[in-house]
Chains A and B, each alone.
Chain A
């Protein structure tokens, strides 16, 4: 019954969306069929251009290696094959790197969201001496691009013995002052009466944070988490610098070393690229609305 309800809700929502879109079309392009056809044609051309590299890569990954090295034909003429995938999955550390990436991205996301939310809560809902100074410092920290710090940070990691460790990859990535401000802005808007009532009932800050503030902020927490996860999963520069041992390489770093290993095996290169691309693409297809929203709200840096 619950499932039926859910599909019902979905159907009504889809219908509603369709009606909204139709109204939007009337408002923007107007009723002229020519204008609509023109806009649609432009969309088809642009989307086609944007999809070609991915589609061509995907098709190439199913070609025989011998054919991949011939002048491009869009479809394979020598038949489809999974050869490249078998070779890539058998010979390389692709799955290991993928696992590493998952571990790193999950850790970075969890830690970033947790410590940023806690700091945002402190700035938004508690008073302590030095709060103003700390907020000012956090604001200043936004201005420091991490890329500038690669040299001293690497040396520091050497001293701390964190080169070629997960801690060394993860920890420098969890400092996200922008996220603190995005979350603080959201926490600021939580009705004070709600928090005061809980305080009068004897709830301490810790309980307030976990039982009221966080549950009320689910949407923004998800948005921040999505944004941080995409960034961490795809981050290249820092993991590239801090890892030399293939055992600890993340997917982007490991994949960047693949060229030498295979020489010019285009079908295999494309197969590894496809395997690497798949997780986020599938996530996006499943949760498009959420991800679009998350990136749009967080991407502005809370402006």
Chain B
């Protein structure tokens, strides 16, 4: 849309208004006299320059540099930068560590995303009842999101401590066998997913809450007059209205979960036995512990391909709407 806006001269635009970009679309501007006012101004370059320079330097350059690097055997110490073609990519696809960490990442994404959406929904629906204590509920659910990962690590590590931690104390109090929260291969990923839900659910909760506040009261009033009870209103009005936002939150959450690093690196360092190590940690280890920058870049791009699929899904509805 903007491409055509910029290339058509204002006069021609006025003489032959383009029907496809007519006033019915709020995002696009029709060609009117104001564009001729705008067009006289060449300051646009100056306004966009700082952002363009920053983006070029810290996004475009590393993107291309990383791509180039992925075809070399460059190391952190600077040795070896000859072109080795697709060797890094070939190695990545046959590297069991890549598959294992990719599998861990996907497993974590599944384990965390489902509760992160559902629990957020439950919280928002409960708070949206307008029951007293609004400030307290919002505070309790959102506060953990404001903690930095290192604080989350300290708090949860303390909860998970064998014998003296709160979880073990409670479990023993119930007469059950304590779990190896972070030391048992079959349990660690669940513990980390649990920490992640506690930490970040407040964000999705706020997105849901904002969406709920947009539901017109008349709908509830009409349903009440028709004799719909509380549950009926929940399932026939509230939840259907939240369907579009649920899609958005789901994709945003998938993208966020795939990029997991902080809490796993801090809580288990990827252990026990590599069972929680995400792909981002493998990239980090390959680049900064083993100094294999070329190979690390290649894995980054394999990972990027995976993320891109989800990003495109996210951008599609935006395109349709704009």
Q: In the bound complex, do residue B158 and residue A270 qualify as a contact, i.e. CB atoms below 8 Å apart?
A: yes
Let me know if A91 is at the binding interface, CB within 8 A. no
B124 CB to nearest A CB, Å: 11
Q: In the bound complex, do residue A292 and residue B55 qualify as a contact, i.e. CB atoms below 8 Å apart?
A: no
- Chain B, range 277-306, C-beta contacts under 8 Å to A: 280, 283-284, 287-288, 293, 296-297, 300-301, 303-304
Decide: A148 near B37, CB < 8 A? Known: A237-B262, A256-B266.
no
Instruction: State A142–B59 Cα separation when bound (angstroms).
Output: 10
Q: Which of A1-9, A79-87, A281-289 forms part of the interface with chain B? A: A281-289
Q: In the bound complex, do residue B220 and residue A154 qualify as a contact, i.e. CB atoms below 8 Å apart?
A: no
- Please count the residue pairs between chain A and chain B whose beta carbons lie under 8 angstroms apart in the complex: 341
**Residues of chain A within 8 A of B198, CB atoms compared:** 50, 53
B49-85 vs A: 1/0 string, CB under 8 Å? Answer: 0111011011111110110010000101000000000
By secondary structure, the A interface counts as helix
Q: In the bound complex, do residue B128 and residue A24 qualify as a contact, i.e. CB atoms below 8 Å apart?
A: yes
**Residues of chain A within 8 A of B63, CB atoms compared:** 144, 149, 152
Q: In the bound complex, do residue B154 and residue A269 qualify as a contact, i.e. CB atoms below 8 Å apart?
A: yes
**Residues of chain B within 8 A of A175, CB atoms compared:** 51, 54-55, 58-59
Let me know if A217 is at the binding interface, CB within 8 A. no
Residue of B5, B122, B146, B248 near A280 (CB, 8 A) is: B146
Let me know if A78 is at the binding interface, CB within 8 A. no
Chain A, Cβ-Cβ closest to B7: A132
Instruction: State A214–B232 Cα separation when bound (angstroms).
Output: 45
Chain A, Cβ-Cβ closest to B224: A27
Q: In the bound complex, do residue A205 and residue B137 qualify as a contact, i.e. CB atoms below 8 Å apart?
A: no
A268-303 vs B: 1/0 string, CB under 8 Å? Answer: 011011001100110011001000110111011101
Residue picked from A127, A196, A288, A301, most chain B C-beta under 10 Å: A127
B75 CB to nearest A CB, Å: 10
B35-54 vs A: 1/0 string, CB under 8 Å? Answer: 10111011111011011101
Chain A, Cβ-Cβ closest to B159: A53
Residue of A56, A118, A296 near B50 (CB, 8 A) is: A118
Let me know if A234 is at the binding interface, CB within 8 A. yes
Instruction: Classify chain A: how many residues form its interface, as a range.
Output: 35 or more
Residue of A39, A126, A269 near B126 (CB, 8 A) is: A39
Q: In the bound complex, do residue B59 and residue A295 qualify as a contact, i.e. CB atoms below 8 Å apart?
A: no
B170-184 vs A: 1/0 string, CB under 8 Å? Answer: 000000000000000
Instruction: State A35–B76 Cα separation when bound (angstroms).
Output: 62
A64 CB to nearest B CB, Å: 14
Q: In the bound complex, do residue A57 and residue B155 qualify as a contact, i.e. CB atoms below 8 Å apart?
A: yes
Decide: A72 near B141, CB < 8 A? Known: A42-B126, A151-B69.
no
Q: In the bound complex, do residue B221 and residue A27 qualify as a contact, i.e. CB atoms below 8 Å apart?
A: yes
Q: In the bound complex, do residue A118 and residue B48 qualify as a contact, i.e. CB atoms below 8 Å apart?
A: yes
**Residues of chain A within 8 A of B5, CB atoms compared:** 127, 131-132
**Residues of chain B within 8 A of A29, CB atoms compared:** 129, 131, 230
Decide: A156 near B62, CB < 8 A? Known: A60-B158, A122-B44, A230-B146.
yes
Q: In the bound complex, do residue B44 and residue A132 qualify as a contact, i.e. CB atoms below 8 Å apart?
A: no
B130 CB to nearest A CB, Å: 3
**Residues of chain B within 8 A of A25, CB atoms compared:** 129-131
B251 CB to nearest A CB, Å: 10
Decide: A127 near B6, CB < 8 A? Known: A53-B159, A143-B308, A269-B158.
yes
**Residues of chain A within 8 A of B151, CB atoms compared:** 252, 255, 273, 276-277
**Residues of chain B within 8 A of A119, CB atoms compared:** 47-48, 50-52
B72 CB to nearest A CB, Å: 11
Decide: A71 near B163, CB < 8 A? Known: A115-B50, A128-B42, A209-B47.
yes
- Chain A, range 15-32, C-beta contacts under 8 Å to B: 20-25, 27-30, 32
Let me know if A165 is at the binding interface, CB within 8 A. no
Let me know if A116 is at the binding interface, CB within 8 A. yes
Q: Which of B14-22, B91-99, B107-115, B201-209 forms part of the interface with chain A? A: B201-209
Chain B, Cβ-Cβ closest to A173: B58
Instruction: State A116–B47 Cα separation when bound (angstroms).
Output: 9
Residue of A43, A46, A152, A273 near B131 (CB, 8 A) is: A43
Q: In the bound complex, do residue A151 and residue B296 qualify as a contact, i.e. CB atoms below 8 Å apart?
A: yes
23 A-B pairs with CB atoms under 8 Å apart are A23-B130, A25-B130, A27-B224, A28-B233, A57-B155, A115-B51, A122-B47, A123-B2, A128-B48, A132-B2, A132-B3, A134-B52, A142-B311, A143-B311, A145-B255, A145-B307, A151-B66, A152-B63, A152-B297, A155-B74, A205-B44, A234-B148, A269-B158
Which residues of B pack against A, CB within 8 Å?
2-7, 27, 29, 33-35, 37-39, 41-45, 47-48, 50-52, 54-55, 57-63, 65-66, 69, 74, 76, 122-123, 126-144, 146-151, 153-159, 161, 163-166, 169, 198, 203, 206-207, 209-210, 217, 220-221, 224, 229-230, 233-234, 238, 248, 252, 255, 259, 261-262, 266, 280, 283-284, 287-288, 293, 296-297, 300-301, 303-304, 307-308, 311-312, 314-315, 317-318
CB-based closest 5 A-B pairs: A24-B130, A126-B44, A132-B3, A152-B66, A128-B44
Known: A145-B255, A155-B69, A299-B206. 9 other contacts (CB 8 A): A23-B217, A53-B166, A144-B59, A153-B66, A237-B262, A251-B148, A269-B157, A284-B139, A301-B252
